[in-house]
Amino acid sequence: MKCFSILLSLGILAIPRLFAKEPAKVVILKLDDFSSRTEVPTENWQRVVDYIHEHNLTASFGMIGRDIKRATPAFCEWIRGQQESGRIEFWNHGLTHQRVEKDGKKVAEFQEPFAAQVDTLEQTQRLGEEKLGIVFTAFGAPFNAINADTAKALEAVGIKVWLYGYGSAAREGGYTGVLLKRSVNLEKTTSVPDFNFFKKQYLEKNPQSPLVLQGHPHGWSEERFAEFVKIVAFLSEEGYVFMKPSEYAAGK
Ligand SMILES: [Zn+2]
């Protein structure tokens, strides 16, 4: 007992708690628009999935409700298996991923009024639960296009993590979840990862952890994928740990 209290006073018993702390450098891969070729992922997506497993990484994939609707039972099973592997987390990426013309302006799904946003969020949540057996914890808006009602809608539906959430919009809308903000970019333009472009921003901006990196693997040819691999290798050398959005948020 005496020994126990000495260890306690020296702070030694607190050491395991220190190890349980979040790593100093975290990277979260936010890979959008996960898509299939009927019953299996497209070749470009499969290359990314294989790489994640082979290198013991983790990543997160944005799932569009429309694609869950048309997914075959076999493909739903495949998605569930990936989520259960613990290496990939699927998240709510809206229902339609479309822009519609209204009064001469293109309006995205999360630029509609509050009730419509709640509806679109809930429909995708329900599709995830019913067809995939997955409760999506995180959300990212298609085109990252939102309005002042988005934060309120996320709060109303109970979405705990907002990928590329905006601080001011979240505060004004009373959002209480975790914001994972954008700092540097993996892709130079949509679907084009570029190692030199990434490294330049990284060195100039000296971004804070977590790095939340957006990509669109549907358009990653082998050549583009090679740039992604270079970025992953660079971050690993820099001491970054790959985490999933919900895993990171759980430590907050
Ligand atoms: Zn998207």
With beta carbons less than 8 A apart as the criterion, state whether 26 and 59 touch. Answer: no
Mean pLDDT confidence for 14-41: 78
| Cα 95 to ligand 1 centroid, rounded to whole Å | 11
Look at residue 38 in the predicted model and tell me its pLDDT. Answer: 74
How far apart CA 111 and CA 116 sit, in angstroms, is 9
C-alpha distances (whole Å) from 89 to each of 157, 180, 245 are 19, 15, 8
| Cα 172 to ligand 1 centroid, rounded to whole Å | 25
Give helix 43-54 / helix 222-237 axis angle, nearest 10°.
Answer: 20
Which amino acid is present at 247?
Answer: E
Both structure tokens of 207: 């971004």
In order of their start, the domains of the chain are 21-250 (3.20.20.370)
Both structure tokens of 6: 């000495």
111-120 pLDDT, tens digit each: 999 999 999 9
Mean pLDDT confidence for 94-112: 95
pLDDT at 34 over 80: yes
Mean pLDDT confidence for 89-94: 98
- Burial group, residue 164, by CB count within 10 angstroms (0-12, 13-18, 19+): middle
How far apart CA 85 and CA 80 sit, in angstroms, is 9
Look at residue 21 in the predicted model and tell me its pLDDT. Answer: 66
How far apart CA 11 and CA 84 sit, in angstroms, is 37
Neighbours of 183 (CB within 10 A): 15
186-236 pLDDT, tens digit each: 999 999 999 999 999 999 999 999 999 999 999 999 999 999 999 999 999
| Cα 20 to ligand 1 centroid, rounded to whole Å | 34
Instruction: Out of 12-16, 76-80, 170-174, 218-222, pick the least confident.
Output: 12-16
Q: H or E stretch including 16?
A: helix 15-19
How far apart CA 213 and CA 184 sit, in angstroms, is 7
Mean pLDDT confidence for 169-176: 95
| Cα 56 to ligand 1 centroid, rounded to whole Å | 25
Q: What are phi and psi of 175, to 5 degrees?
A: -75, 130
Look at residue 13 in the predicted model and tell me its pLDDT. Answer: 46
| Cα 66 to ligand 1 centroid, rounded to whole Å | 12
How far apart CA 72 and CA 74 sit, in angstroms, is 5
With beta carbons less than 8 A apart as the criterion, state whether 127 and 68 touch. Answer: yes
Q: What are phi and psi of 88, to 5 degrees?
A: -130, 135
pLDDT at 22 over 90: no
Look at residue 100 in the predicted model and tell me its pLDDT. Answer: 94
Instruction: Out of 2-6, 97-101, 102-106, pick the least confident.
Output: 2-6
pLDDT at 104 over 90: yes
| Cα 15 to ligand 1 centroid, rounded to whole Å | 42
Residue 182 — very low, low, confident or very high, per pLDDT cuts 50/70/90?
very high
